[in-house]
Structure 1
Amino acid sequence: MDSPLDVSRLGAVEIWTINRPESGNAITGSDFADRFERAVDEANADTEVRAVILTGAGKIFTAGGNVKEMADGEGIFGEDPQVQRQAYQTTIQRLPRAATRLEVPIIAAVNGAAVGAGCDLAMMCDMRIASEKASFAESFVQVGLIPGDGGSWFLRQVVGHARAAEMTFTGDRVDAATALEWGMVSQVVAPEDLLTAAHALADRVAKNPPHPLRMAKRLLNESRTASLDTVLSMAAAMQPLAHMDPEHHARVAKWKTT
């Protein structure tokens, strides 16, 4: 059976492709969570990996949940509320936890619609580049649901409370141009240029030393919720490790001679 998440490599950059076009690249289910967690663990263990690009196969990024299964009452959607509660914790809610412990920067290359949990998955990434055909929708309320995957936390971090509230309470679609204006994405490019632009950004990240890069990401993540004193203490502990890195010495010596 095909993997729900294909992983390939180009130099120091991994490309993760959600590969379920027949179901709108649905990301629910334990098999996707298993593969996503494994990809995170493998990237964390390999210090040669310095950046990740996440995209979707076909014409969309991901539609999030499998709406057909919901409508037909299949799988967990036919179970009682307590079983469903546990299932959310052991499937879709594993994604935000895995995404936040990924040690290297991750770029969402949003090639089309990012809907519901798909929108939230894009928000879990550190950076986002959108195709002109991309769109984002925190669409849960339109089908009588809530963000069950931590989207209310991530979306607010990216666009602020007022815009997150607008998206959450209306479920309306946000097109690529609006996403750029709102700061959801840093670039909007032609569809055929999307992966080229994502690789260009990933290469700018990957040219930097691996260990300080991972520590810098950790500081940024902690800064979302930690106090200034906590972040300063972490930085004071991390910086001596960076000073001892041979690549730091090599780069400082090179800079001194230029």
Structure 2
Amino acid sequence: MSDKILLDRRPDGVALLTLNDPARRNPLSDRCMLDALVAALRQVEQDGAVRVLVITGAGPVFSAGGNVKDMQAKAGMFSGTGVEIAEAYLSGVQQIPQIMQRLDIPTIAAVNGPAMGAGCDLSLMCDMRLASSTARFGEVFVNLGIVSGDGGGWFLVRHLGYQRACEISFRGRPVEAEEALRLGLVLEVVPDAELLPRALALAGEIAAKSAPAIRMTKRLLRMAERTHLQDFLAAAAAMQAAAHGSAEHDQALAAALAPRAGGA
């Protein structure tokens, strides 16, 4: 794996993925960065020991998104004909939302600074977002005369609703951390130094729960976005039956009932 992506699998079941090109503000359009990020996400997807994924950026920026200099120079993924550019998106950056949407473990973005363009979109692909006080979220594509080519609009509408997603996207205005909190775009805003410890603590708390129950809960929550109630109830019943027969359920019951037994 490229040193542009760091993947730390921790003993508590939490994986910490760090975008690691701070000198260039962790861009998400360079092929080496994209390939390394896709490879890391696939490793997480295939590693049954990972229970929660935290994504953050090295340095003072989460990710500046696409490399604007490459856009101007028509270089890298921005080079070639329209067909070639579309193919570069399909085979490159669009692999990320597909994997993120497939992951059945909880994902947390620890947004340590500006998350602009594709960087904002990456944070939106996570289940939860914690922000430092210096974080900013920018769906700023229209300011460059382009659109979100990596699926960001799909996630933004689901997080904020259609009207607010329109306002932010049409104006191309960054959202500061405190406004993001008011809008429900982030769970918490914390001082910069406390961000990663807080994100890892939240991830560790979730990772300590029954892994099968957490995975099935995430599947059900995702299904709720697109499934009719009757189909959802059938899936919930099947997953619940599987959960009732699991060793994790027996262990959780024993732990829950132990204090009562000890005090009787």
| Cα distance change, pair 44–71 in 1 and its aligned pair in 2 (3 A) | same
Q: Please say if residues 52 and 203 of structure 2, whose CA atoms lie closer than 8 Å, have aligned partners that are also in contact.
A: yes
CA shift for structure 1 position 10? 2.3
SS in 2 for 1:145: coil
Question: Is this contact kept in 2: 1:29–1:91, CA < 8 A?
Answer: no
What is the CA distance between 1:86 and its match in structure 2?
Answer: 1.1
- The aligned amino acid for 1:8 is D
Specify the code of the residue in structure 2 equivalent to 1:39.
A
Q: Residues 82-121 of structure 1: CA distance to partner in whole angstroms, max 9, x if unpaired?
A: 1111111111111110111112101000000000111111
| 1:111-162: CA deviation from partner (whole Å, max 9, x where unpaired) | 0000011111101000000000000110000000011111111011111111
**CA shift in 2, pair 1:233/1:40, >3 Å:** farther
**Equivalent position of 1:236 in the other structure:** 237
Instruction: Judge conservation of contact 2:21–2:27 (CA < 8 Å) in 1.
Output: yes
The match for 2:4 is 4
Distance in 2, Cα, partners of 1:143 & 1:42: 34
What residue number does 1:176 align with?
177
1-side partners of 2:190 and 2:87: how far apart? 40
**TM-score normalized by structure 2?**
0.93
Q: Percent identity?
A: 41
Aligned residue pairs, count: 258
Q: Secondary structure at the match of 1:61?
A: coil
In 2: Cα distance, 1:34 partner to 1:222 partner: 29
Opposite residue 9 of structure 1, the aligned amino acid is R
* Deviation of the 1:34 alpha carbon: 3.0
2:218 corresponding residue in structure 1: 217
Q: Structure 2: any 5+ residue segments left out of the alignment?
A: 260-264
In structure 2, the residue matched to 1:22 is: 23
In 1, distance between residues paired with 2:67 and 2:167?
24
Q: CA deviation at 1:77?
A: 1.9
CA-CA distance at 1:2 after TM superposition:
4.2
User: Do residues 256 (structure 1) and 223 (structure 2) align?
Assistant: no
- Asked if the contact 1:41–1:102 (Cα under 8 Å) also holds between the matched residues in 2, the reply is no
Alignment of 1:1-258 (within 5 A): 2-11=2-11, 12-258=13-259
* Structure 1: gaps (5+ residues): none
